[in-house]
Structure 1
Amino acid sequence: MHYGHELQFGTFVTPRNDPPDFAVRLALLAEASGFDLVTFQDHPYQPRFHDTSTLLAWVAARTERVHLAANVANQPLRQPAVLARATASLDLLSGGRFELALGAGAFWDAIEAMGGRRLSPGQAVDALSEAIDIIRGIWDPADRTRFEVDGAYHHVSGAKRGPAPAHDIPIWIGAVKPRMLRLTGRKGDGWVPSLARLEPGALAEGNARIDEAAADAGRDPREIRRLLNVGGRFSADGTGFLDGPPAEWVEDLLPYAIDDGIATFILASDDASTIERFAAEVAPALREAVARELAR
């Protein structure tokens, strides 16, 4: 099913801190190559990586057009009210170029080692749901009511609202399991899984869960953008999925756009030549192929 969103392309860069400008150079390359979005994974407990929030701010100052996001922000180690203000500030400073993608946490030993609270999978989903309510409440300074969220994991009691972001920041959710998919349908503006982590048929099943939850919440499922992290390599002769010349990449990705409604393809690669080639030879050809199929 196609959900009617304009096709976009992004990169998914490892925020390595050795050398310090490694990820920055790839972000600048992505913008120069014409990508719509640059994202960085967020693992605050990983000493080999830059702090992603700091990196995003630095890259925002070095770029002019490209949109930026974590992929996805580690909510258990990022207090939601503070994250909301930080994101709004970066959006204002960048002229409306920040998006917010959230995850419920996965590496709990490392999260706990950094001072975070260890949660069960179900608790983590509930905590993320509370965090989304707080983030959206902070972003709404026009609401003059006292801001109260008395959750089991997060709470605010009379916190001041604001600032409002420069644009209506979508909240994308990194989801695989059913409870997270249902949360995406109820409260999310986008779904951002990684293809490498999905079983065959999981995209269709995930879309169905999201659509059902959205409808149950009185929402139109078409409000929710579908994003997908993908990775592969270019080669002269195709040997498998996303392993071949650009034309075969287009053939491989086209069904995901038409049948599964993917509107944003995010290339997971730290290789400059792969980033440039994808932008020059895959993205425009895939746009044309999708337009042809939809015209039919």
Structure 2
Amino acid sequence: MTDYGHDLQFGVFITPTNNPAQHAVDLAVVADRAGLDLATFQDHPYQPRFLDTWTLLSYVAARTERIRLSGNVINLPLRHPALLARSAASLDLLSGGRLELALGAGGFWDAIEAMGGGRLTPGESVEALEEGIGIIREIWDTDQPGGERRGGVHVRGRHYTVDGAKRGPAPAHDIGIWVGALKPRILRMTGRVADGWLPSLGYVEGGPAGLDALNAHIDAGADAAGRSPRAIRRLLNVQGRFQPANGGLLQGPAAQWADELTAIALNHGTSGFILASDDAATIERYAHEVAPAVREAVARARGEAAPVSPR
């Protein structure tokens, strides 16, 4: 059993379709009103069927009140880290500290190259992501919120060079940097430098049990860097369907979902469950019937006091 002890978070993974243009926004509002913690959107800047994710995040921030927002995951090869750092800090300030930053190393290289991004090998993409995370943190590192620290940012990497860029603005809160990763090299990098890990369960070989081997790579990276493995939050994109009878993992009634997610939290270290759904009724049921039950069950298993409802 592995439980890293993080507070539980529940969110939704919404497709940023541009037809109808307001659909993704309306679903984020549903998730906000239902009491979920996170609304996330995939980022494929080369996909003309989708809204631009950063524009969408900004618009959704203005339409919601309390829910935190993130890309799932932001395509770093097409978004320069220094500019992304300022964009993220700005949106965090404007939204009252409601932005998190999940990053990806890239994968659809033909499409990325067609948009002007450079093609990288898998190893190079991990190097570039690690350099990018360092630049983002340097831009945010100021003496005071909104101010500049003496001296600019100087990073001369293999993939990114920033030479004297001014620091700031600082975000409104300590933005988490999460990494979408499945392979050993990027998992170890996640353990070295990131705040969280955000894979999709559908791509994990062996289902929930397969998370253990992937967590081990993150833990090894953290140990090698002198960090505690508990410093890295483990989140998970999941898919499911509510139905009367048990038809498999997350294919059944809400009580079954709650039991299965509780087991993943306690046995495999996951503390964030992000449901891929574009259906308002499913999002509301997840928020009202599944999330509270999992919180209560995990709290009991940990010997903690019953959690307070976010609403």
Q: Decide: shared fold, TM above 0.5.
A: yes
CA distance in 1: counterparts of 2:20 and 2:272, whole angstroms: 29
Superimposed CA distance per residue, residues 178-202 of structure 1 (whole angstroms, 9 cap, x where no aligned partner): 0110110000000000000001133
SS in 2 for 1:226: strand
Structure 1 stretches lacking a partner, 5+ long: none
The match for 1:208 among 197, 216, 219 is 216
1:30 is matched with 31
Deviations 1:98-118 (Å, cap 9, x if unpaired)?
Answer: 000000001011000101001
1:50 Cα offset (Å): 0.3
Q: 1:228 aligns with which of 232, 236, 242?
A: 236
**Deviation, structure 1 residue 144:** 2.5
TM-score, normalising length: structure 2:
0.93
* Alignment gaps of 5+ in structure 2: 144-148, 305-311
Deviation (angstroms), 1:216: 1.1
Q: Which residue of 2 aligns with 1:199?
A: 205
| Corresponding residue for residue 62 of structure 1 | 63
Once the two structures are superposed, residues 77-129 of structure 1 have per-residue CA deviations (whole angstroms, 9 ceiling, x without a partner) of 00110000000000000000000000000101100010100101000000001
Residues 156-186 of structure 1 show CA distances to partners (whole Å, capped at 9, x for unaligned) of 0011010000001110000100011011000
Cα deviation, 1:258-290, whole Å, max 9, x if unaligned, reads: 011111100111011110111111111111111
Deviation larger for 283-292 or 131-140: 283-292
Which has the higher mean CA deviation after the structures are superposed, 29-38 or 251-260?
251-260
Asked if structure 1 preserves the Cα contact closer than 8 Å seen for 2:10 and 2:272, the reply is yes
RMSD, matched Cα: 1.0
Q: CA deviation at 1:71?
A: 0.4
- How far 1:295 sits from its partner (Å)? 2.1
Give the letter for the 2:46 counterpart: Y
Equivalent in 150, 153, 166 of residue 147 of structure 1: 153
> Take 2:134 and 2:249, find their aligned partners in 1: how far apart are those partners?
39
- Once the two structures are superposed, residues 32-90 of structure 1 have per-residue CA deviations (whole angstroms, 9 ceiling, x without a partner) of 00101100000000000000000000000111100000000000000110000000000
Residue 101 of structure 1 aligns to a residue whose secondary structure is strand
Identify the range of structure 1 (201-210 vs 260-269) with the bigger mean alpha-carbon deviation. 201-210
How many angstroms apart in 2 are the aligned matches of 1:146 and 1:49?
36
What's the counterpart of residue 3 of structure 1? 4
Count of residues in correspondence between the two structures: 296
TM-score where L is the length of structure 1 = 0.98
Q: Distance in 2 between matches of 1:39 and 1:146?
A: 32
Aligned twin of 1:82: 83
5 Å-filtered alignment, 1:16-55, equals 16-55=17-56
The letter for the 2-side match of 1:283 is A
One-letter code aligned to 2:172: A
* Residue matched to 1:167: 173
Shift of 1:146: 3.8
Q: Tell me whether 1:177 sits opposite 2:178 in the alignment.
A: no
Please give the alpha-carbon distance, in whole angstroms, between the structure 1 residues aligned to 2:302 and 2:172: 33
State the one-letter code of the partner of 1:125: V
Contact 2:151 2:164 in 1 (8 A): no
Deviation at 1:239, TM superposition (A): 1.2
Percent identity over the alignment is 63
- Give 3-state SS (helix, strand or coil) of 1:12's partner: strand
